[in-house]
Structure 1
Amino acid sequence: MKLLPSTYVPSLRWRQGEYQALFRLSDAAKQLVVPFILVPEPEYDFEEGRPKKTVQEQVQTFPKRYQQKWGKRPAWIDVHTNIATTSMADGRTPMSYVFEEIRSFGSRAVPITSLDAPPAVNAVVAGIATIDKLGVGIRARLEHVMKPNFDARLIALISSIGLTREHTDLIIDLGAPNFQPYADFADGLIAAMDNVSALISYRSLVVIGTGFPQILGIDKPGGHLPRHDWVFYKTLRTKLAGIGRIPNFGDYTIVHPEFTAQDMRMLKPAGKLVYTAGDTWNVRKGGAFRSDPGQMHTHCDSILRSGQFCGPHFSAGDEYIDLCAKKLATPSNLTRWKENGISHHIMHVLADLATSSAGP
């Protein structure tokens, strides 16, 4: 799909805090967001010793919820590799099921495939592209992009789907690399992109990555973590200015892409608030949330007093933070605080990209 220079691509695992943050965005903000959505695999039930849901139960709720939360707006949709080749009760694959269901309400979503997807998945994606005529998105991981045969494999995949570069969105997923030194990493990626033939012909070009840690190694009461992905992107953009195609910016919001199931019976998650601020995340962290939910009032008050608070009208998340700091809203639950942090983060990135020096 065609993107504006200021379009932001958040990569989401379609959990409640993520889709609620999308849903609560203003209409103006939604016009500048094209999410990369992954239909996740069922989570594991440690007590029962099996997945919490069947693939059928996991996937069948997605189309209706997607319609409610995002509607006909453009998006890319992928399916987790662990369930991509399984079957629903009626024999359809999850990807077929999702796109046939969302097609009924006029969805403008584009299917995603990758260089290491099985032929069966590529066949399904080709069929969807033939019917919807909305093109395809190809997700290329960093290890794909850095190989000398990347361009040849990319061309072969596009051809096998029956499309051309002009109907293909190239999404480079960096994952969670060591971005530093920023300039060296940018030079390496630019060299790899230079080896992609007719890069300008692709319908869109996006780079997604994250600097958010998988383990939040920060002590109470919190501190600042660097947004390595954003600082790297600014470096990349500066180096490409006037000499190459500048990709759109994407990230994993305030979530690490590698989700590891954990036995929640053995854990006592801390109450925390992640607040995007400039080139850092301001993280407020306390003790076990279930033992002391009221700590969230203190965390929110700390953000208000930090000099970094963007005001209650900046996002739905900021509004809730303001109310909670004033004890006019309850501490709610951890999912709501993930939503509040993502809500603020999305609006902060849009503001970043809207500045005169930040857009592609």
Structure 2
Amino acid sequence: MAMAQYWPILKARAGEFKALARLRDHEVSTLQPLFEVSPSDDGPTHAGLKFVRQLRESAPAGLTVGVDTTYARVNDDGRPLIMEIANDLALWGIPIAPVIRLQDPDEQFSACGEAARLHNETAIVRLGSITTDPDPVADSSRISRALSIAKINRERCHLVVDMADVSSERDVSRAEQIARNVLDSLGNQEWASIVVASGAMPSAITNVPRNEATPLARWDWELWKRLADRGPDFGDYAIAHPEMQGPVPRGPIPSLRYTTSDHWWIYRWARNETGGNDSFYDLCKTLVASDHWPAEGSNFSWGDSELARCARRQPGPGSATQWRAWGTSHHLAHVINELASSPAS
């Protein structure tokens, strides 16, 4: 069986783009990132321009990026933002696949179709949301209608079955049954690929103890393993919660979300007497001495090379954006390695 592709659903924030820019060639070939355009206090047009600039500065050659404008659907003058983004990125030769959500208005379906025709005629149909589960019965006719309006062939579309937040054994069991029902109903159709995605990172880690590593279960990975007999690709929300969060509070204490086989290890380190973020050096020293530090060490990913540097107390210790970038970089590399060695591959 071929190796499953990895579909991280990423927030369009600086940390994620920094990690994207540092992907290695073999990682690019197995990665299909889907970005959710983040809303902006300056309006959707600004959000779209910022997204284009960030993607242009960070996207590796040969990478096609899914673009979901759910959180900023139209620009300041009411036109579909996906078309503005598609037009701009076409000029730069950066391929995208627009994301169709079944709750979108007809105008959005049409715009996604136009955007797809600018970019390899490829699109992504994303089922489910933060508040709504995929429905294999109702979604079947909705998909046909949306693709008819968009004028896109089904075999040019990737299907993402998004189970959103799974944070317990009970959540996983429930999500597994729903996902199996969707795969039974829609999985025999001519899709370019089928992905099962979910996220298990909590919305906040402020209740995690300080100055020690705390494990949190990767229930999203557990869900995919239970469905691996059906052969879907794997999707998650990397090290973020599925819901679009507000701005990061200013000056958070040094922290890191570090991915291992079945857990994330959450590190939160209190500031020391010197103030600033110097205690991140102590955090990293603890990490590299742990049994979940990879055998490859700093060579495992760009993020790990930065964490190893900080463990040697080489300046500087970074800030919340860098910590998120380094944790995301490690996570992407870890999942790709995991999929390559998975029995389902």
Asked whether the two chains share a fold, i.e. TM above 0.5, the reply is: yes
* Shift of residue 144, structure 1, vs aligned partner: 4.8
Deviations 1:149-207 (A, max 9, x none): 121211221222112321111111111134524455423321232122733x1111112
Secondary structure at 1:274 match in 2: strand
Partner residue, 1:299: 283
Contact kept, 8 Å, 2:166 with 2:219, in 1: the verdict is no
CA pair 6-212 structure 1, distance change in 2 beyond 3 A = same
- Of residues 84, 101, 105 in structure 2, which corresponds to 1:114? 101
Partner residue, 2:69: 79
Work out the CA distance in 2 between the residues paired with 1:276 and 1:80. Answer: 28
Partner residue, 2:214: 223
Identity %: 23
Work out the CA distance in 2 between the residues paired with 1:173 and 1:144. Answer: 8
Deviations 1:277-331 (A, max 9, x none): 1100111112359944111011101111111111000001101111111112321
Secondary structure at 1:84 match in 2: coil
Partner residue, 1:233: 224
Work out the CA distance in 1 between the residues paired with 2:96 and 2:253. Answer: 36
Q: Which moved more, 1:180-189 or 1:21-30?
A: 180-189
Show structure 2 runs of 5+ residues with no match: none
Partner residue, 1:139: 126
Partner residue, 1:177: 166
Aligned residue type for 2:94 = S
Work out the CA distance in 2 between the residues paired with 1:228 and 1:40. Answer: 25
1:166 aligns with 2:159: no
Q: What RMSD, in angstroms, separates the aligned Cα atoms of the two structures?
A: 2.2
Q: Report runs of 4+ in structure 1 exceeding 4 Å deviation.
A: none
1:211 aligns with 2:180: no
Partner residue, 1:271: 254
Work out the CA distance in 1 between the residues paired with 2:74 and 2:239. Answer: 29
Work out the CA distance in 2 between the residues paired with 1:95 and 1:339. Answer: 26
Aligned residue type for 1:110 = A
Partner residue, 2:343: 357
Contact kept, 8 Å, 1:111 with 1:128, in 2: the verdict is yes
Partner residue, 1:41: 39
Deviations 1:88-135 (A, max 9, x none): 5xx743211110011112222111111001111112112223344422
Secondary structure at 1:287 match in 2: coil
Structure 1 length-normalised TM: 0.86
Partner residue, 1:255: 240
1:187 aligns with 2:174: no
Partner residue, 2:138: 149
Partner residue, 1:328: 314
- Of residues 299, 313, 328 in structure 2, which corresponds to 1:313? 299
Structure 2 length-normalised TM: 0.90
Q: When the two structures are aligned, how many residues end up with a matched partner?
A: 335
Partner residue, 1:47: none
Partner residue, 1:17: 15
Partner residue, 1:343: 329
Q: Which moved more, 1:95-104 or 1:120-129?
A: 120-129
Work out the CA distance in 2 between the residues paired with 1:57 and 1:186. Answer: 39
Work out the CA distance in 1 between the residues paired with 2:27 and 2:307. Answer: 19
Partner residue, 1:48: none
Show structure 1 runs of 5+ residues with no match: 43-50
* Shift of residue 268, structure 1, vs aligned partner: 5.1
